[in-house]
């Protein structure tokens, strides 16, 4: 009786935790596999325990080169997309002008378009225009799909901002530039940082668009895709686990840093 | 330049680089894709394609790839149903029952995305493996025949799709449930609504914007995905993305690939605008 009562009160939380378990399971398996020595190259099962993969994460130098390339592409795409998207967000939130709804649709459409369509259409264009595909075509493509996400993220932050703070600055004889530098920018910055982090992770992890625009250039996801057919080196799981830990630490640090302001 | 003129020009200057980028690398490519879908299908990449307005490409590809097309939307639809079943309780529990654990649980929803999408999908290969613990257990309790498999089945692909895109559904749903005024539920129960009635008549309708946004964010990438079908399935589970990928990168049949791509885009856009209109929300803009 008491158990059923307890279950009736908590069933929703129990279901929620089970679903979270389903979401967490593959990450745990990746972490476990990073300590695995598979019995054969094509095996996905557990063999014996080893720390060799962590000692020599770059045993397959091809993989680490791909990883480095992904970081470079992610960095370049993030910088360009964040600048372009932030400028657009300012225009859209702070100004009323003709063609505003058209721009909104243009920003929304890439997010509503499946990645295969984005990738194939760029490939069709590059081939028709005779542009060789490689590092720079990947950057161009990544900037394109990141811009929309930057616009949406920065727009949300700008829209929630108290305009009176800027009015106060102006009343205190700050000119437009000073107001922007000392009041507006610091207030919007968290939104811009969030947008940049989102862009980087979208770019770094992108496979489908990259697959169509890369030519013979290999990024980390492209490497994993190719290796899935030839046999995955266990070090892939080391990279996967390390990425997870780094991202988690970043989130932890940023949430600690935010707390005192509340 | 006068101050007024500068102010009028400013938004256009701010918009110029981003808009130009989107037009050049999203708009123009789409037009090129549309053109490619109407090329003469007998041409080839090496000899060049002739533009013949070959509208026949569309019925041809639908006929040739009907199984993959219907599978794309079928699998994505099944995965969506599964994701709603799993995601609604999760979003609800985080928004309304988690108390001070709210932020931690939210991080748990997003955290899997910190690792590479492909690496996580490959992890399912280990979990669902024929010699894995899960298959062993299911065989022992006779839920699976002694030679039954999980990997390389439609089940594995749908499971993978559900897993990969579930966070996209949970987050907007959480956002709209979080905003829900709990006094409305109290009012409902004061007026003798049972919990089930209160849920059906108050919570569910009020969470509709989140449901619509989550459904779209889930369905768009799921129906265009081919990574799960490739890694967790066999050619018998191939979706339309697999066909498009091979048309463009292996068989080099651009008219066919372009027609399929454009068809996918048209279906998705129809679903998107249908959903947005029904939801009566312009919030997305």
Q: Which residues contact B104 (CB under 8 A, 6 or more apart)?
A: none
pLDDT at res. B285? 41
Pick the residue from chain A with its C-alpha nearest to B232: A228
CB spacing of A120 vs B258 below 8 angstroms: yes
Give per-residue pLDDT as tens, B2-11.
Answer: 667 777 888 8
Whether B215 shows a pLDDT value over 80: the answer reads yes
Contacts of A92 in chain B (CB under 8 A): 15
CB spacing of B114 vs A243 below 8 angstroms: yes
Per-residue pLDDT, averaged over A74-95, amounts to: 95
CB spacing of B124 vs A103 below 8 angstroms: no
Q: Can you give the three-state secondary structure of chain B, one letter per residue?
A: CCHHHHHHHHHHHHHHHHHHHHHHHHHHHHHHHHHHCCECCCCECCCECCECCCCCHHHHHHHHCHHHHHHHHHHHHHHHHHHHHHHHHHHHHHHHCCHHHHHHHHHHHHHHHHCCHHHHHHHHHHHCCCCCHHHHHHHHCCCCCCCCCCCCCHHHHHHHHHHHHHHHHHHHHHHHHHHCCHHHHHHHHHCCCCHHHHHHHHHHHHCHHHHHHHHHHHHHHHHHCCHHHHHHCCHHHCCHHHHHHHHHHCCCCHHHHHHHHHHHHHHHHHHHHHHHHHHCCCCCC
CB spacing of B26 vs A236 below 8 angstroms: no
CB spacing of B249 vs A87 below 8 angstroms: no
Among A40-49, A91-100, B59-68, the range with the most confident prediction by mean pLDDT is B59-68
Whether A261 shows a pLDDT value over 50: the answer reads no
C-alpha distances in Å from residue B160, one per residue of A22, A26, A45, A191, A242: 11, 10, 18, 32, 23
pLDDT at res. A251? 83
Where is pLDDT greater, at B47 or B203?
B203
Q: Which residues contact A98 (CB under 8 A, 6 or more apart)?
A: none
pLDDT at res. B142? 87
The model carries a pTM of: 0.91
- Mean of the per-residue pLDDT values of chain A: 90
Per-residue pLDDT, averaged over B119-135, amounts to: 92
Whether A162 shows a pLDDT value over 90: the answer reads no
Q: Most A CBs within 10 Å: which of B15, B162, B229, B232, as the mutation test of the A interface?
A: B15
Task: Tell me the domains of chain A and their CATH numbers.
Answer: 1-59+233-262 (no CATH), 65-232 (1.10.3720.10)
pLDDT at res. A262? 38
What percent of chain B is predicted at pLDDT more than 70? Answer: 96
Pick the residue from chain A with its C-alpha nearest to B120: A26
Per-residue pLDDT, averaged over A177-196, amounts to: 91
pLDDT at res. A155? 93
Pick the residue from chain B with its C-alpha nearest to A140: B25
Considering the domain B62-279 in this protein, what is its CATH number? 1.10.3720.10
Return the SS3 of A49: strand
Whether B173 shows a pLDDT value over 90: the answer reads yes
Is A217 in CB contact (< 8 Å) with chain B?
A: no
Instruction: List helix spans (H) across chain A.
Output: 2-33, 52-55, 61-94, 100-112, 115-129, 135-159, 163-171, 176-179, 185-205, 208-213, 220-230, 235-258
Where is pLDDT greater, at A24 or B179?
A24
Where is pLDDT greater, at A9 or A81?
A81
pLDDT at res. A1? 61
Whether B283 shows a pLDDT value over 60: the answer reads no
Query: Cα–Cα distance between A35 and A32 in angstroms, integer?
Result: 6
Pick the residue from chain B with its C-alpha nearest to A10: B97
Q: Which residues contact B123 (CB under 8 A, 6 or more apart)?
A: A25, A26, A27, A29, A30, A33
Contacts of A127 in chain B (CB under 8 A): 45, 254
Q: Which residue has the tokens 């020595």?
A: A37
pLDDT at res. A213? 96
pLDDT at res. A257? 67
Per-residue pLDDT, averaged over A99-104, amounts to: 91
pLDDT at res. B133? 86
CA angle B51, B56, B61 (to 5 degrees): 110
Q: Which residues pair with A36 in a beta bridge?
A: A49
How many Cβ pairs within 8 Å bridge chains A and B?
A: 250
Per-residue pLDDT, averaged over B38-51, amounts to: 83
Query: Maximum Cα–Cα distance for chain B, whole Å?
Result: 82
Is A115 in CB contact (< 8 Å) with chain B?
A: yes
CB spacing of B227 vs A255 below 8 angstroms: no
pLDDT tier, B146 (very low <50, low <70, confident <90, very high otherwise): confident
> Closest partner residue to B254 among A115, A124, A255, by Cβ?
A124
Whether A98 shows a pLDDT value over 60: the answer reads yes
Whether B282 shows a pLDDT value over 80: the answer reads no
Give per-residue pLDDT as tens, B261-275.
Answer: 999 999 999 988 888
Contacts of B258 in chain A (CB under 8 A): 120, 124
Give per-residue pLDDT as tens, B231-243.
Answer: 999 999 999 999 9
pLDDT at res. B179? 87
CA angle B201, A8, B210 (to 5 degrees): 35
Q: Which of A187, B7, A88 is nearest to A179 (CA)?
A: A187
Q: Which residues contact B215 (CB under 8 A, 6 or more apart)?
A: B80, B84, B169, B275
Domain boundaries, given as residue ranges, for chain B: 62-279
Give per-residue pLDDT as tens, A197-253.
Answer: 999 999 999 999 999 999 999 999 999 999 998 888 999 999 999 999 998 998 888
CB spacing of A27 vs B22 below 8 angstroms: no
- Mean of the per-residue pLDDT values of chain B: 90
| CB < 8 Å from B in window 63-92 of A | 83-85, 87-88, 90-92
Is A159 in CB contact (< 8 Å) with chain B?
A: no
Among A62-66, A75-79, A166-170, the range with the most confident prediction by mean pLDDT is A75-79
Q: Which residue has the tokens 């590092």?
A: A135
Give per-residue pLDDT as tens, A112-135.
Answer: 999 999 999 999 999 999 999 999
């Amino acid at each position: 009786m008491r158990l059923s009562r307890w279950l009736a009160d908590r069933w929703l939380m129990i279901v929620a935790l089970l679903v979270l378990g389903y979401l967490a399971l593959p990450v745990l398996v990746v972490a476990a596999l990073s300590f695995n020595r598979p019995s054969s190259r094509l095996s996905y099962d557990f063999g014996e325990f080893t720390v060799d993969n962590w000692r020599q994460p770059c045993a397959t130098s091809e993989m680490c080169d791909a990883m480095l390339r992904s970081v470079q592409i992610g960095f370049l795409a993030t910088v360009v997309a964040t600048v372009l998207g932030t400028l657009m967000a300012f225009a859209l939130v702070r100004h009323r002008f003709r063609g505003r709804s058209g721009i909104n649709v243009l920003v929304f459409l890439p997010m509503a378009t499946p990645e295969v369509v984005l990738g194939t259409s760029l490939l069709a264009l590059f081939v028709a225009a005779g542009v060789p595909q490689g590092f720079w075509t990947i950057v161009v493509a990544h900037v394109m799909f990141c811009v929309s996400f930057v616009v949406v993220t920065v727009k949300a932050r700008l829209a929630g901002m108290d305009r009176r703070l800027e009015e106060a600055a102006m009343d205190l004889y700050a000119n437009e530039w000073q107001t922007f530098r000392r009041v507006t920018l610091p207030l919007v910055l968290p939104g811009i940082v969030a947008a940049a982090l989102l862009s980087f992770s979208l770019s770094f992890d992108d496979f489908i668009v990259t697959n169509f625009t890369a030519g013979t250039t290999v990024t980390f996801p492209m490497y994993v895709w190719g290796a899935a057919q030839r046999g995955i080196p266990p070090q892939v799981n080391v990279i996967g686990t390390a990425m997870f830990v780094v991202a988690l630490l970043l989130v932890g640090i940023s949430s600690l840093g935010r707390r005192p302001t509340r | 330049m006068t101050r007024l003129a500068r102010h009028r020009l400013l938004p256009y200057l701010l918009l110029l680089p981003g808009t130009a980028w989107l037009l050049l690398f999203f708009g123009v490519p789409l037009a090129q894709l549309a053109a490619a879908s109407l090329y003469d299908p007998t041409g080839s990449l090496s000899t060049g394609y002739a533009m013949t307005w070959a509208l026949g490409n569309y019925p041809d590809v639908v006929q040739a790839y009907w199984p993959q097309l219907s599978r794309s939307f079928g699998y994505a639809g099944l995965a969506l149903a599964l994701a709603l079943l799993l995601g609604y309780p999760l979003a609800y529990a985080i928004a309304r029952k988690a108390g001070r654990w709210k932020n931690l649980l939210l991080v748990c929803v997003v955290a899997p995305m910190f690792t590479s999408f492909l690496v996580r999908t490959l992890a399912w290969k280990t979990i669902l493996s024929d010699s894995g613990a899960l298959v062993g257990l299911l065989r022992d309790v006779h839920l699976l025949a002694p030679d039954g498999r999980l990997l390389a089945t439609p089940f594995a692909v749908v499971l993978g799709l559900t897993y990969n895109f579930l966070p996209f559904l949970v987050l907007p749903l959480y956002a709209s449930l979080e905003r829900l005024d709990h006094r409305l539920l109290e009012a409902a129960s004061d007026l003798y609504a049972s919990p089930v009635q209160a849920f059906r008549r108050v919570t569910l309708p009020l969470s509709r914007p989140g449901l619509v946004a989550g459904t779209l964010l889930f369905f768009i990438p799921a129906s265009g995905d081919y990574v799960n079908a490739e890694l967790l399935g066999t050619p018998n589970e191939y979706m339309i993305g697999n066909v498009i990928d091979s048309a463009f990168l292996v068989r080099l049949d651009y008219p066919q690939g372009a027609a399929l791509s454009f068809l996918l885009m048209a279906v998705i856009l129809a679903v998107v605008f249908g959903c947005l209109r029904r939801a009566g929300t312009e919030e997305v803009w």
